[in-house]
Amino acid sequence: MASLTVIGIDPGSRNTGWGVVREQSGVLELIDCGVIRPPAKAAFSTRLAAIFHALREAISRCQPEEAAIEQAFQGINAATALKLGQARGVACAACASFDLTVSDYPPSAVKKALVGVGGAEKEQVAFMVGRLLNHRTDDWALDTSDALAVAICHLTMRRFSSRIAGA
């Protein structure tokens, strides 16, 4: 593949981070990124709708070809899982509405792809995202760098699998 553009999404009902990264000939380029913060006092379904529309707007503008989402971490309670699940579902639906395939990765795989170890801190991941994209990270929320990290993780995995296929 000469070029591939991927949207990474870190879904959450309060903050949904997203970031679009293009890889061309092994060079990563940040296309755009941001955090969706639906009105906190709105009904939950209204917040989900806001996430859906904002993600669709980002996808429509940045035209990614594939999508990647981090898997939910273990050890959350049922109430949190239900909220997080709904935000994830909305993110998958936004991708489905553009016929983007969605790959998901466990948090440890994302960290390993970025930092080399599965137990890295969020700040370390954010630092590496900035380095790889050659971009300042000061103005990014952690949700943004997490979303960019899963996009970069997906691009790394795709590069490996196309190399294996080509070997």
| 104 has catalytic annotation | no
Give the per-residue contact string, 48-87, with a copy of itself (x = CB under 8 A; - = no).
xx--xx---------------x--x---xxxxxxxxxxxx
Could you tell me the two tokens for 2?
A: 């000469």
N- to C-terminal Cα separation, the chain: 14
- Which residue in the list 23, 29, 121, 143 is annotated as catalytic? 143
Q: Active site includes 138?
A: no
C-alpha Rg value of the chain to the nearest Å: 15
135 touching a copy of itself, by CB under 8 A: no
Report the DSSP pairing between strands 16-24 and 27-36: antiparallel
CB of residue 60 vs a copy of itself: minimum separation in angstroms?
13
CB of 43 to a copy of itself, least distance (A): 8
Site string for a copy of itself, 10-49 (x = CB under 8 A): ----------------------------------xxx-xx
Element (H, E) at 8: strand 3-10
Q: Is 128 exposed, middle or buried (0-12, 13-18, 19+ CB in 10 A)?
A: buried
* Beta carbons within 10 angstroms of residue 70's beta carbon: 23
Tell me the per-residue interface mask from 94 to 133 with a copy of itself, x by CB under 8 A, - otherwise.
xxxx---xxxx-----------------------------
Q: Which residue from 7, 31, 35, 92 is in contact with a copy of itself, where contact means CB under 8 A?
A: 92
For residue 135, what are the CA distances in angstroms to 48, 56, 146, 148? 30, 25, 15, 12
Which single residue is written with the structure tokens 């070809």?
65
Residues of the shown chain interacting with a copy of itself in the complex, contacts defined by CB under 8 A: 44-46, 48-49, 52-53, 69, 72, 76-97, 101-104
Active site residues: 10, 70, 143
